[in-house]
Chains A and B, each alone.
Chain A
Amino acid sequence: MEVLNEMTLSFSSKSMNENFARAAVSAFILPLDPTINELADIKTAVSEAVTNAIIHGYEYGDGIVTLNAKIFPGGKIVIKIRDKGRGIENIKQAMEPLFSTAGEERAGLGFAVMQSFMDSMKVSSKPGHGTTVTLEKYIIRRSRSAQAVGYENE
């Protein structure tokens, strides 16, 4: 499928960049004219994935998190968040709600939130090599503004 727009960011695995990643994705998809709820859903899912990369992927250590976002016709957004950290041994267990290896201050809800706030979520991981989370969501077209910026060519 034809990519209408794309961006890639690489940033240090520092917690201050959670906010940066959300803000960047938010600005990138704004021309699709998302509702406040759609925008909040995407920001929340991105925040969860980036936080996982920092806490679990790199275990608070140095590393680079890569975020790639693509916009396809029909308002489809695909966001990939990748780290080259420790990887996940047991993806099924990691995705269980309330499972967390990060201690009492973590709710263990990251994957559950990504799953429920996005249309689809995929995790691929190789222990010792890193993790990629792929998030997808359709932004429902509400107005003509998306056409105005050339994101709709139907």
Chain B
Amino acid sequence: MNVKTVFDCGELTALLFGDIDHHSAREMRQTIDADIERYHPGRLALDFRKVRFMDSSGIGLIMGRYRLMKLTGGSVSLKNVPPTLQRLIDLSGVRSLTD
């Protein structure tokens, strides 16, 4: 399991683990989307504290969840982004979509 989710007070937090690439992003996406369907959170927090590596599949994961949350007027926030992932996040411009 490379993602652990917690739903509390209207916010769904997804703690992501390990490497985020095209291979692992699929399972993360399925788990998070199933919980969005289930709980209808007003806010999704993606927590990167345990992520060691991420390529542009991680950006796709953020963008896809942003689109899904936006459908119901919800928002996405990025938490505890390690310095090594910062450059990719800056390059992608995805910060402008998130809190």
Contact = CB atoms under 8 A, between A and B. Distances in A.
A41 B54 CA distance: 10
Nearest to B91: A116
9 contacts: A15-B22, A22-B19, A22-B53, A40-B84, A41-B87, A44-B55, A48-B56, A105-B57, A105-B64
Contact of A37 (B19, B63, B67, B84): B84
B50 interface: no
B23 interface: yes
Sort chain A's interface into a size bin: 20 to 34
B74 interface: no
Interface in B43-81: 53-57, 59-61, 63-64, 67
Interface of A: 15-16, 18-19, 22, 36-37, 40-41, 43-44, 47-48, 51, 54-55, 104-107, 109-110, 112-113, 116-117
